[in-house]
Structure formats: structure tokens, C-alpha cells
Structure 1
Amino acid sequence: MTTSRTDRTMTYFVLAVFSVFSLVPLLGVLSSAFGKSGQGAGGGVAWPSDGLHWSNFAKAWTQGHFSTYLGNSAVVAVTVVVVAAVLATMAAYAFGVMRFPGSTALFYLFVLGLTLPAESFVIPLYFDLRALNLTDSLWGMILPQTAQSLAFGVFWMRTYFRNSVGSVIEAARIDGVRSWGILWRVLVPMGRPAITTMLVVTFMWTWNEFLLALVMISDDAHRTVPLGLAFFQGAHSSDNALLSAACVLIALPVVIVYVILQRSFIAGMLSGAVKE
């Protein structure tokens, strides 16, 4: 099917309009981050006329203790992503390829986790973790977020395993490869785009988690970057340049991860797995 020049022009026009709407707020934050420190909030995108104030980032980094917060967030995010990815991949393989009694009901029990808002169980979860002495610790963030990420991971990877090439699985079984080998030696290498998409989405959710950190963490030594930014905003509410610089600092790791994995992420979102 061929596309006319008019259709292509309209497509590019619509994409350009939405790109402008998406980039203007980002450019506003970036221009504010390079502005003069000590000024209140301004409006629009106005590039600093007196040069770029790179010192805002160093000042925000030092005064906001973001080295500690970024380290905590990195430990939590990496642990959650790795553990949730491994567990979700194995569980999804069982639901998508194997057949056992109660598999459908158990799968929908996992999917139920996608429908439950965090606000509905965060308070009972706090008392449970407090009884186990896990509040004010990174484990109080890692364990709940791993459980939350499993719902999406199992749902996403089960779809990939259900759409996997059945002939490849049968060929591996004929060659004597057991289920464990089929999963890790055949399906996982084939499903890198789908797995990468799951990793990126889980990383972004974990990195940006605020409510759980607000409830579980009260001491400064275990704060993550969203919670640290909230306290930093309370102390520097009148300094728009410092706040914008802090926002850029905590958003940078997510941007870097996405840029590095963008091709596999987009491929996983568009195609997932190879279908028969």
C-alpha cells in the first residue's frame, strides 16, 4: 500500500505539533536550570541572557544530598528490575508454555495486581513491614516494588511466550532440551526486545516511585530521589534555578537508560515476539 504525499505531509505535521507540545515543558525546565540562582519562578522558555550557570547543578547536588539519594535509588531500582525480571520471566513461561491445573485462575490472580492502586494497600503494608522491622530501610522499598512489578512482568512476558514460534519449541524438545533449557537458551535470547521493554518500564516505575518512599522512609539516609526532591523543594521553593537543576539531575539516569535501550524498547513495544 502506497501513501500519498498529502498523507505523509499531514502525518509529519501532526507529529511535529505533538513534538512541540512535548518538548516545550522540557526546554522550560532546562532553561531554568541554567538560569541565575536565587530567582523565583518565571514563565515560558527564556534562555539565560548572562550565560549558562553550570554551578546550579553542583550547588543542587551538594545542598540536596543527591549523591546519597541517587545511590539509594540505584540500589533499589537495579535490585527490583533484576529480581522482578527473573521471577516474572520464569512465571510467565509457566503460564504461557506449560499446562497445569489452575494456571488460568492463578494467572488472573497475578493480573489483579495491575488493577489495585497503591493507595489502597500502602497503609496495611506499612504496618506489616514495620512489624518485620523493614521500614526505614531499602528492603522496605525493594520487596513491595518487586511484588508490584511482577504483575506487569508476568502479563507482558506471558504474551510473548504465547506468541513464540511453536515450531522452535517443538524442535528443541525433539532435540532433548528440557523446559529449563528451552526458556533460557531458546526463548530468552529470541525475546530480547520484549524483555528490554519490561526492564525499561520497570526501571522507570521504580525510579519514580514516591508514595511508597514517603510512607516507608522517614530518615534522610534511606531516601530515594523523588522523596529527596520533595524535601529539597520545600527548602528551596523560591529558587527556581536550583529546583530545575535538581529535576534534571534525577531525570538524567532514566533518560540515559532509555537512550541506550531505545531500539530494543521500541521493537518490543511494536512487535513483541515473532509470530507464526
Structure 2
Amino acid sequence: MKRDIAPRRVMGLTVQGARYLLLILFAVLFLMPFVWIWFSALKSTAEINADPFGVPGELMWGNLAEAWTTGRFGTYIGNSVLYAVFVVPLVTAFSCLAGYALGARRPPGERLIFGAFLLGIMVPFQSIMIPQYYLIRDLDLLGTYWGVIVPSVALGLAFGVFLMRAFFRGLPQEIGNAARIDGAGEWRVFTRIMLPLARPGLITLVVLQFMFTWNMFLIPLLYGQDENLRPISTGIMFFIGEYSVDRSMIASGVTLASIPIIAVYLVLQRHFIQGMTAGALK
């Protein structure tokens, strides 16, 4: 009997070690693009051209300051924060309300309404940006902050409703029914009972929508039509000329633009992973 236990233990340790090696391999592959960009941000363009994947010979921290100044990142990061402050809460609030109605209450025509929201995911933005441009122009929103915020909220709702509907639909509805029997109104059931239970999905939506909003490029470029309204993602355009490309400044700009996203993810990573796991299980 003891002879059988030893090979099993060795086999178990071997399988566990193989799993850890595989996870480490995937982690290295995932981190390699980030490390490459960070190394490039601390090199000169000549050094990048000579050895694109090498370690910087001298850390040129001044590249980050130069990219901040030349790319007008001080102005653009303020615009990005403004867009995120409006777009993320609005998309989250509307998605939670619609997701609760479609997932928990299931009104008549629920499948038809949900199918209409799914069209927002299936139809690419490039196919609707021209008619949307004329719509925003007729509403006299071109060249304004609202000209960027309103379509960003509208485009973010499709995925938000899809995500939150799945979470509310997977929650035990008996808890809400018990609260209604005790005299709680529908708004109280939603805000005090069902919404806290959907917290992992809520955090997941906030992280993803913040990432989409922070990285948006085409919407402000088409509908903002003013250099002072552009977000941080457009600052990288300053380093791409007609006949030359400043690779070190591009890498520095990408590094500066990615810092807030990485910070938000690190703060909310536990809830984000819970939300993604729960969504997968549902």
C-alpha cells in the first residue's frame, strides 16, 4: 500500500509543477509587451533602432517629461478624466437599471428588447459612425464635450446591459420576493438587496468601461473636432510625422497613458476577477 502512495504523490507533485510552469510561461508572455514598451520609453530612438528588444544602456527618464510636454498630455489627461467621470457612472447606472429589469423582472417583450441591445455589440462602430455624425451635428453637439460623452454612453450601454443582465438573472430571485412580501418597494429591493449581490459584475463593468473610455480614439477624433477636447490617447499622434516616427516618444506616451488603467485594475483586481469568474460560471 505504501509503495502505491509514493508514486501517486510523485505524480501529483509533477502535475502541480507542470501547472505552475505553464502559468509562469503565460505570465511571462503576457508581461513581455509591457516590459518592451517600458524599456523603449527609457531609450533614445537611435538605441531602439539599433537594438529594439535590448535592455536600455542608460535610463532616459527625461523621455517621459518630454512626452508629457510635447504631446500636451497635461491637457489631454484632464479631458480623459472628464470623459471617464461622466461616461463610466452613466453607463454603469443605466446598465444596472436595464439589466435588473431584463434579468430579474423580465417584462413583456424582454427578449425583443434584449435583442435590440445585442445589436449594439454585433454592429461595428465603423458602420454607424457616419449616420451618427450627422445625428450629432443636427443636435448641435459637434465640437463639444457632450458630442463625445453622449455617443460614448450610447455605445457602452450594449455591453453593459448584456453583462448586468447575466448577473441579475443568475441571482436567487427568492430573496427579492421575500423582501416584497415584507413590504419593500421595487426600488428598495433593487438598491438594497439585488444590487449589492451583483457587486462583482458591477466592479467588472466599471473596470472594463473605464478601460474603453480611457482608450477611446475614434469618437473624440470624429465628434470632438477640437484639439482642446481630445483625450490622452490622441497625444501619441504628435510623435508621428509624415516622414519620420519618434519611437521613444511613442513608447513614453503609451507608458503614461497606461498608468491609470494599470492603477485602477490593481486596486479593483480582486473584485474584477470575481466578476469575470462569476460571469463565466453563469
Q: Under a length normalisation based on structure 2, what TM-score does the superposition of the two structures give?
A: 0.89
Q: Which residue among 209, 213, 218 is the counterpart of 2:225?
A: 218
In the alignment, what sits opposite 1:140? 147
**Which residue is 2:43 aligned to?**
35
Do the aligned partners of residues 217 and 42 (structure 1) sit closer, same or farther apart at CA in structure 2, a change above 3 Å counting? farther
Quote the residue 1:120 is aligned against. 127
Unpaired segments of 5 or more residues in structure 2? 1-8
SS in 2 for 1:4: helix
Where does 1:247-258 land on structure 2 (aligned, <5 Å)?
247-258=254-265
Structure number with the bigger relative contact order (C-alpha 8 A, sep ≥ 6) is 1
User: What residue number does 1:168 align with?
Assistant: 175
> In the alignment, does 2:101 pair up with 1:94?
yes
| Aligned residue in 1 for 2:78 | 71
- AA partner of residue 265 (structure 2): Y
Offset from partner CA, 1:23-47 (integer Å, 9 cap, x none): 2221111111112366554544322
Q: Which amino acid aligns with 2:236?
A: L
- Alpha carbons 2:103, 2:166 under 8 Å: kept: yes
Indicate yes or no: 2:194 matched with 1:187: yes
User: For the Cα contact (< 8 Å) 2:40–2:48, is it kept in 1?
Assistant: no
The equivalent residue for 1:46 is 54
Q: 1:234: how far off?
A: 3.2
> What is the distance in 1 between the residues matched to 2:160 and 2:50?
41
2:56 counterpart of 1:61: no
Q: Say which structure is richer in helix.
A: 2
Q: Is the 8 A contact 1:37 1:56 kept in 2?
A: no
Change (3 A) 1:274 1:122: closer
Q: Which residue of 2 aligns with 1:81?
A: 88
Tell me the distance in 2 between the aligned counterparts of 1:230 and 1:86: 33
State the identity %: 38
> Counterpart in 2 of 1:154?
161
Structure-1-length-normalised TM-score: 0.91
Structure 1 residue identity aligned to 2:13: R
Offset from partner CA, 1:98-149 (integer Å, 9 cap, x none):
1422122111111111101000001111111122221222211111111111
Aligned residues between the structures: 273
Which residue identity does 1:163 align to in structure 2? G
Amino acid at match of 1:19: A
Is 1:196–2:203 an aligned residue pair? yes
User: Are 2:24 and 1:16 aligned?
Assistant: yes
Distance in 1 (alpha carbons) for counterparts of 2:205 and 2:274: 12
Q: Return the letter of the residue paired with 2:211.
A: M
Q: Deviations over 1:11-69 (max 9, x none)?
A: 2222222222222221111111112366554544322223x221111111011101111
SS at match of 1:94: helix
2:223 & 2:278 partners in 1: Cα distance? 38
Q: 2:5 maps to what in 1?
A: none
Structure 1 alignment gaps of length 5 or more:
none
Which secondary structure state, in structure 1, belongs to the residue aligned with residue 105 of structure 2? coil
Partner of residue 6 from structure 1, selected from 2, 6, 14: 14
